[in-house]
Amino acid sequence: MYSEDIENAAAQERGGDDVFSKPVRAGKRTYFFDVKATKGNDYYLTITESKRRVEKDGRFVYDKHKIFLYKEDFEKFTEGLQEVIGFIKEKCPVVERIAEERPSDSNFSNIEFEEL
């Protein structure tokens, strides 16, 4: 159970100061957006990227990278992120793949096993 392993590992790493958490699975990675509280009950955000990989001995381990984002930086961080995402979308737009059309079922006849 890959997703449960990620959530359990992340829960073990996080302390008792969690206020809110939102995991986002994206391909081979999971991102955790965790709102935490300081001792003075001030909130901040941690963003954790977690990627599962296999060690040589077959054990699963998680590579994690964490960013701490404080309230006074939210606006500048959001503006910068939106600008960069906008740039990428403009310069390299997402191209939706057209699903290959499967042959119509009308080309096949209904044959019963007994008829073979």
pLDDT digit string (tens) for 21-47? 999 999 889 999 999 998 888 999 999
- Average the pLDDT over 7-27 and give the result: 70
- Both tokens of 58, joined, read 């077959």
CATH architecture of 2-95: Roll (3.10)
Sign of the dihedral through C-alpha 99, 102, 106, 109:
negative
Residues 6+ apart with CB under 8 A from 17: 36, 37, 38
The phi and psi torsions of 104 (rounded to 5 degrees) equal -65, 145
Considering the chain, what is the average pLDDT of its residues? 80
Phi/psi class of residue 27: alpha, beta or left (left: φ > 0; alpha: ψ in -120 to 50)?
Answer: left
Q: Where are the domains of the chain?
A: 2-95
Output the CA–CA distances (angstroms, integers) from residue 3 to 8, 27, 50, 77, in the order listed: 9, 11, 11, 28
